């Protein structure tokens, strides 16, 4: 892989893929009539944000917030277009205004519910389970390690069970297609369906790896805060979330830079193994959508300036 090649990111959406560069992000989705439709969100570049993106351990928070805001817009687009398609199940029975506000309410409710559920499950539950076992597993170190085991186990179980749902499987196929296209580009291959098919569906900069790193690093951080009393234990873990996110982002970037060094590439293997659950092998049509999103993004990047920026893929 050429070190001079720009680093692009993206994400899977409903029946499509979003690809992002330094200046713009473009989603391509497959409509029910088999056509491909595009959607663009141009990145807002403000001087203060540009400066913060260059500061280690702060740039991670900025990047995650920006990716979340932009990613939500692309997810909304893919959801609305899928629901608006006359061939989509049940779409013909809904008035346009009802569908619009139904999606807005549904997405907002799902976002709030997911946030609350995630905070409860991955912060409170592991700490509570470990605390219940204090009589059998005493000692602060043992408690922190046990809490970490519960946290990682819950994460793996959650990802595994959602991967069994057929709609999620299709999203994970598009996730695999996104990775394959980026891998093909970074390996200097022409972006044809056949070339992309040969690529790995795993990538060192994937958000899945990032999630796993946050779980692992949080366990290490817990050694520096109190375990008792219980309320302080939970509060300290919540307050450490920004620190955890920042460090995990830097670790994600480090593992990507080290991936071509034989002895050090294994540092990113845990995240790659987890991606075996969050990515699936895509078919040719899904790869075509991912290639279209990437090419369209690259074309539009030239309208705003030089391409390329580190991203989570």
Domain ranges for the chain, please list them. 9-301
Q: Which residue has the tokens 């590439």?
A: 265
Radius of gyration of the chain (CA): 21
- pLDDT tens for residues 265-284? 999 999 999 999 999 999 99
- pLDDT tens for residues 230-265? 999 999 998 998 899 999 999 999 999 999 898 889
Q: Which residue has the tokens 């946030």?
A: 115
Torsion angle defined by CA atoms of residues 33, 82, 208 and 290, in that order, rounded to the nearest 10 degrees? 30
Q: Is the pLDDT of residue 286 over 90?
A: yes
d(CA 103, CA 101): 5
Give the three-class secondary structure for 174: helix
Give the three-class secondary structure for 261: coil
Count of helix runs (H) and strand runs (E) in the chain: 12, 4
Instruction: Tell me the pairing of strands 36-42 and 16-20.
Output: unpaired
- pLDDT tens for residues 168-208? 999 999 999 999 999 999 999 999 999 999 999 999 999 99
d(CA 246, CA 57): 5
- pLDDT tens for residues 63-118? 888 888 888 889 889 988 876 665 544 444 445 444 444 444 444 445 545 555 66
Q: Is the pLDDT of residue 24 over 60?
A: yes
- Sequence-ordered list of residues with C-beta below 8 angstroms from that of 121, at least 6 positions apart, any chain: 154, 158
d(CA 66, CA 49): 10
Is 227 within 8 Å of 139 (Cβ atoms)?
A: no
The model's pTM: 0.84
């Amino acid at each position: 892989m050429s070190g001079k090649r720009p680093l692009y990111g993206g994400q899977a959406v409903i029946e499509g893929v979003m690809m992002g560069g330094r200046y713009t992000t473009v989603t391509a989705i497959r409509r029910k009539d088999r056509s491909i439709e595009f959607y663009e969100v141009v990145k807002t570049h403000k001087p203060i944000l540009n400066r913060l993106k260059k500061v280690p351990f702060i740039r991670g928070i900025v990047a995650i917030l920006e990716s979340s805001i932009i990613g939500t817009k692309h997810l909304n687009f893919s959801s609305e277009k899928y629901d608006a398609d006359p061939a989509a199940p049940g779409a013909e029975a809904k008035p346009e205004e009802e569908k619009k506000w139904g999606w807005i309410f549904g997405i907002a409710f799902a976002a709030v519910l997911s946030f609350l559920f995630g905070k409860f499950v991955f912060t409170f539950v592991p700490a509570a389970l470990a605390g219940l076992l204090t009589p059998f597993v005493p000692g602060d170190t043992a408690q922190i390690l046990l809490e970490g085991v519960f946290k990682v186990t819950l994460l793996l179980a959650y990802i595994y069970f959602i991967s069994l749902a057929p709609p999620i499987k299709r999203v994970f196929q598009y996730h695999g297609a996104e990775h394959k296209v980026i891998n093909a580009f970074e390996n200097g291959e022409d972006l044809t369906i056949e070339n992309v098919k040969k690529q790995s569906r795993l990538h060192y900069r994937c958000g899945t790896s990032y999630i796993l790193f946050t779980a692992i690093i949080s366990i290490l951080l817990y050694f520096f805060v109190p375990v008792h009393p219980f309320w302080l234990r939970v509060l300290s873990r919540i307050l450490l979330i920004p620190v955890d996110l920042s460090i995990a982002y830097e670790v994600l970037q480090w593992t990507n830079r080290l991936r071509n060094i034989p002895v050090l590439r294994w540092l990113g293997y845990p995240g790659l193994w987890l991606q075996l659950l969050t990515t699936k092998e895509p078919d040719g049509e899904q790869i075509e959508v991912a290639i279209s999103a990437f090419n369209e993004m690259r074309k539009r990047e030239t309208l705003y300036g030089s391409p390329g920026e580190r991203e989570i893929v």
